[in-house]
Structure 1
């Protein structure tokens, strides 16, 4: 990437713990219409369960005082609806903020938010509420750990406070982990190790990566990446290689990069489809190397795919263009070692009549569109290794349930010499060049000089 790296900001310093501030009550979120398209294929049978259960809390954590993250930009306090459901990297647990068992935010005018943990790896899914003595704000974030605990991030005055929640018989236990004093903070997706959590803190000229849970003494500064970073996709199973979407200058192109957290945040290019294109990484599967990409290099914003470590061009399948709808991939079938073209990909399709599910494989030429189960927590779901998509949903009579959707079979077709589906249109020579995935740190990397 061109240009010299900006000067590194000084490391934050620790301060004394603030008093507990009164939390602001959020405005009620707008309802979301639930219908599905008329031509959608109904989803197969569902399973539901409500059995109670709770693993014991893990010991060995120490609370920490708040830390000041320097150089952060101020930003308006924007109210938002929390993510529908966050699923742990191994699919064992999930967590969300809810207002009532089985009810979404549209069912109450004055919601009292509280965290809820879902257990997904047993014979039947079940939910455990984790309320405390006062309701949470809708702007809080929750993130499940593989041992059943749930991380919560709260905005308290000018700080972001972190705690671990866990069931304790009839009540909820809370273990404070410390706080970061900064204007803006974004939790990254669940770490593949299942026992730590990271966050991005943007500054004026760089973005800090913080370990906010899983360290020995509260939040720990891990890396400082030049530029404004967003997104966040894990590239390996160890939680070492993190892909971020970076913008080096205001108004400049956004390019996906790989950050090595065990080498002080060493940065290597990951996506450079065209010099001025915005190339973002949406999903990655460490087993097969399949990457799901969004880029405007073809002349408009398109979904494409590539393979980590490959120098073949990114492909932009025509079947992933649905007029009047937005497609967002949310799950890739794991366990397909060295077979990226055979991975089933689940996509959330948002249109005028609501949200439904799409299933697609790189080796196929068809996007299969399926109706989502009623009460689907839109955008949430995960694949089993044998190609069954599990879609969590909550509705009256089934406050915690999972619908099972088997990946439809694709008709065999002739492929090109590379064994991959061609793009919708041939790229213009000199504009769209092969993605330099061979520069990624998983293959052919050398130590910096």
Structure 2
């Protein structure tokens, strides 16, 4: 199961939301089960924690259909389409609002006591629940938060049904969800421990003092470096965002890894999502000119592993989960370096030659994404062969209309976003477990 309990789910979700740290954020949990998840998110972001209290206004004789919702401080959100279709008169609506508001005020007194609601005007509100089945409560909560003046509304959950996510996405500024299995049956299926959350636990979490310095804050850097690897050190470019949640080292078999425009474009997308990047030249100019070292996968892998060890010793990167992103023969080097190495949390190959990793493919435990252009038929066939030999969590993603170098408009961005999402899910989550079931080529990850 993806999550041991709600606290584990919150920690994983907090790492995914790391780019929000340091901004004007309030984290709002949906009582009761959403609050333990939200507490861990608030801790990760260094943000205050509160609850968002809503009561759905059910349509008479069809209470599962929401004609609106009420929130604190007199906020009312109405669904005019449902009201008209149900021919709800003002007296019926007023009665429902009076009844649900009384219950909402009772819950507010129970959970908050004399403590006021945290103001949301002009701030980013992160609405958190332990999961979403139908989305009715989450939709009402986000609407109420917007009515309270939030400038930006982010809905964040560990697990949700794909249908509910599709329905909710247009109603908020951003949706962040870690797991959305196609065979969704219930929220609890994603948890090993899904026991009910009691009011006492919610009250204890809300009484915690608001954190000061965001967890994981680092001194940002963007420097040319020389990694202690290779004959005379290997030059690279290390960029660490303030709230980096992971480090991705780029492996490029041909051309300058640190100056490659494609690598730099992909790195920019990763950094925007809160991931540190290290672009490095694994070969000297003389070695690259000789050509043979370009295909010496063992040499490249050894240097990549040495670069990763050097980076792990840098104070700005200390403790960051490690991932590799390889292109060309660098993809094979990344897989060989990752084989049997539990410090490597995730691997992405972009237009690479993973087949050149040979027997090491079977020993890779880090979740691996193979990204190939749809028009790159020869390399696509080689990636399919390599995927069949992987025993780790893996996916083969084909970018439509892309050739080997992803030069067509929009294709490199698509590849970069695939890498970003893979690292966000696997790099900053739990360490790789034992080999799961292998997915078919082109099958979306669940």
TM exceeds 0.5? no
Which fold has the larger relative contact order, with Cα–Cα distance below 8 Å and residues 6 or more apart in sequence?
Answer: 1
Structure whose residues are more often helix by fraction: 2
